Amino acid sequence: MNDTNRGNQIAPAMKREYLDALLALAEEYTATYRINLMDGTMECLSSVDVLGDCTETQANKATGYEEAMKGYVESKVHPLEQLRVRAMASLSVVRKKLKEEHSYTFRFSLLLDGQVRFGEMKFVGVDLVEGEASVVVLGIRLRDQDIATTIVNKQLIKEYDAVYFCDLNAGHVRIFRAPEGLEEKNGTTVSYQAIMDKIITRVKPKYQEVWKNLANPLFVKDFIGGSQRREYIYELTEKDNTWRRALFQVHDRGEDGKATRIILSFIGIDYNQAKELEMTKLINEQNHELALQHEQLELALQQANAANQAKTDFLTNMSHDIRTPMNAIMGYTALAAAHIEEVGRVREYLDKIATASNHLLSLINDVLDMSRIESGRMNLGETETDLGEVVKEIHNILQLDVQAHQLEFTVDMDAIKNTRIMCDYLRLKQVLLNCLSNSVKFTKPGGKVALEISQHAQAPAGYASFTFSVRDTGIGMDPKFLSHLFEPFTRERTSTVSKTEGTGLGMAIVKNIVDMMGGDISVWSELGTGTEITMNFLFRLVDESQPTGSPADDEIIVPVGSKINEAYIEMPTMGSNKLDNSSEVLNREKIQGRVLLVEDNEINAEIVFALLEGTGIELELATNGAEAVDMVTNARDYGYGLILMDLQMPVMNGLEATKVIRSMKSEWTKTVPIVAMTANAFDEDRKAARESGMNDYILKPIDLPSLFKKLHEYLD
């Protein structure tokens, strides 16, 4: 304490604890005071009197504490914190706090010469009367750097390139970490507009409009809204390390609930991080106000109820949708039996039964896919994929539907430089097929369906960025339904849509797969005009230095930049419907070979025997895996040219039987083709089959062309 005389005058009147408190505070605090809690009088004990300077009373003379504190708060403390500081420093609160602890400290913001500063008050109780302090020693000091660092570090990571504390109401910015090249130094205060102007000059033109808006503090308040934090990803005009993430974090809000002071920070990120951050939903920080917590719980309850209601509606719809094809199957089966002698009519009924069966299978597959997505059991694999091959296969699948609906289907791949990528081939094809199938279903005859694939120049080394656009001139969607398009268990109900087959799960599946692949998807649609679905992906490129296989002679390769429709590419001739095609396959196929069928279900075995009858195949049956092992053991070398193995069977399942066969000493048992023929359709089942030693996979229900393709592949 600088004033030694005053210290000598009051020392005899103070107790030891009062001296200890005074000495401790005098070393660390700019201004110190002795306050009588009984009558509210105050005496300054230091050469600096920040409280007295804010009142009309002369310094170093007895002053009313409440009056002095009021003047100090009104003239020095930041307007947003004045009420809080008045309350925290009131004698009633001080008495209460000092009943619980020996000392009491709190921190606050000041506004000095237009700059935001940070201070601290500490009260220490002395002169106990009946267990309560009758006198306190108060210390006041600036803790600008310490408190500022604490506030920033609580909300920001240390790797940020620049950090600003922004007062949106005053338009001021206090710099905590200045970026390289900025003239202003850390700790200085500049205008908010000046900072924004410098940012605008450095960003690429397509981002400048957004930053011009962000230069307006009112826009920033609306941009943040009720969130605790908002992010914005943008790119600089520099040559290296161009991507940046700007983070707007709320420090406090005004009475209207809008952000008043924020922490604005910047960090450099690579392209992958930029895409990931753009596609990641921002999570609001926990709000400790009980009223808002109650609102959030209410909202969660409403959402849960809505989800339960949606699933109830889904089950109702699915009950109808499943019974519709089942009614067709059962009804036409009865009609075929009643008119068994009329070949033409029976063929017509069988054709309709086949169509209904395919629809029922699609319903089941969609429900299973959605179930696996929601349970988190759908996994993506990454394989070498050629976009041209994907397009070719999609065209083959859609050809009949496009012809039946009398549509023009085009594919534009002009903007692609790299076709060989690493991705989940089946899931990418599923996403595109789901979108294109919807376009075909809901486009009237004479309309157009288009798939456009473009590649962007901006991508990290070894990667390529693609945009897939599916457009049609179909019936479009109502704007009210469009906002719920990707929600599971929802389906638009109109006179047109209700007549079209489907589960209503297709786009929910698409959205989830796109998210899992790290992409994004958006939809534009207008009633009576059409729909456009846009998907963006970042795929790893195939190493071009690796050798590539040559396509089979009978495959159709879609060159890069080609357009596809019935006029541009001649597709293989196919029957008018699946039944005709299956009949043609059965009538023309001639294959030689000895095949072991391992199947425990009598009906399934009977179907396979009937399908292969007359083909030249010698078929033998084992009813479980153990029986199959015995038959292979007792067979001569190369006794079977192919084994068709079910997976789920009694005694010994197909996986175990395959492992036993592969472990036999005979050389031919290590190489004989073993193909799974099963209803287990999930990816993990395929993986388990491969790991057990199986060569291939055929799904039930059996598709005849696929079955005979496998038979030719392994027996020829």
Three-class secondary structure of residue 565 per DSSP: coil
Q: Cα-flanking dihedrals φ and ψ of residue 267, to 5°?
A: -145, 145
Choose between 601 and 71: higher pLDDT: 71
Taking the CB of residue 601, how many other CB atoms lie within 10 A of it? Answer: 14
Is residue 592 within 8 Å of residue 714, measured between CB atoms? Answer: no
Average pLDDT over residues 638-653: 91
pLDDT value, residue 495? 39
pLDDT value, residue 674? 95
For the chain, what's the residue count? 716
Choose between 488 and 538: higher pLDDT: 538
Helices (H), strands (E): how many in the chain? 23, 24
pLDDT tens per residue, range 39-53: 889 888 888 888 888
pLDDT value, residue 521? 92
pLDDT tens per residue, range 402-440: 888 899 999 998 878 888 999 988 889 888 988 998 899
What are the structure tokens assigned to 31, written together? 């201004």
Report the candidate in 38, 35, 58 with the shortest Cα–Cα distance to residue 140: 35
Segment (H or E) for 511: helix 506-516
pLDDT value, residue 520? 92
DSSP string, 347-397: HHHHHHHHHHHHHHHHHHHHHHHHHHHHHT------EEEEHHHHHHHHHHH
The distance of Cα 246 from the centroid of its chain, to the nearest Å, equals 20
Cis peptide before 547 (omega within 30 of 0): no
Is residue 582 within 8 Å of residue 706, measured between CB atoms? Answer: no
Segment (H or E) for 265: strand 259-268
Catalogue all structural domains in the chain, each as residue range(s) with its CATH number.
4-142 (3.30.450.20), 147-285 (3.30.450.20), 292-375 (1.10.287.130), 383-541 (3.30.565.10), 589-715 (3.40.50.2300)
Residue 665 DSSP symbol? S
Query: Parallel, antiparallel, or unpaired: how do β-strands 448-456 and 408-415 relate?
Result: parallel
DSSP string, 445-476: TT-EEEEEEEEES---TTEEEEEEEEEE-S--
pLDDT value, residue 568? 28
